[in-house]
Amino acid sequence: MSSIAVYPGSFDPVTLGHLDIAARAAKLFAELHIVVVHNPAKTASLPSAVRIELIREGLQEAGVRANNIKIDTLDGGLLVDYCTMVGARALIKGFRSNADLDYELPMAQVNRDLADVESIFLPANPQYGYVSSSLVKQVFSLGGDVSGYVTKSVERALASSSANRK
């Protein structure tokens, strides 16, 4: 049995909810790969290299001291191929509501069919149950305070990205 798991996401930007799931998953597995994946259905607002750095900084800011976390990117190809490459037999998926489960379940079944990779669903901390990267970006773009949803480094990156677009 593998004790390696992969936690994929676009993390655009990484939220406190994402960091909470990562911290909890890191306690369950000997090795956790947080993987910034390209989602062809979305246009990323931050480059993957920036998102990787924000995850790294965010884990530190959130006080997550897990030395079993690796951060990587997957810009193309199948996620299960990445899992096979690193020896992972589990995918970590956080969910906030039934809508998330409805979206994730078909992918979980296909991932199991393709590569015998199981999906493990972790419920969101109720404190972050309504927080999404899309909501953070929208609130920020309209001048709202997102400090309760993201780390300081993400706030700075959003401000910098916004300033660069002007």
Annotated binding site: 10-11, 18, 42, 79, 93-96, 104, 128-134
In 3-state terms, the chain is what percent helix, strand and coil (to 5)?
Answer: 45, 20, 35
**In three state form, how does the secondary structure of 36-48 look?**
EECCCCCCCCCCH
User: What whole-number distance in Å separates Cα of residue 37 and Cα of residue 91?
Assistant: 13
Annotated binding site for ATP: 10-11, 18, 94-96, 104, 128-134
User: What whole-number distance in Å separates Cα of residue 136 and Cα of residue 114?
Assistant: 34
User: What whole-number distance in Å separates Cα of residue 144 and Cα of residue 149?
Assistant: 11
Nearest to 21 by CA among 120, 162, 117, 147: 120
Annotated binding site for substrate: 10, 42, 79, 93
User: Are the C-beta atoms of residues 69 and 32 closer than 8 Å to each other?
Assistant: yes
Q: Which helix (H) or strand (E) holds 149?
A: none
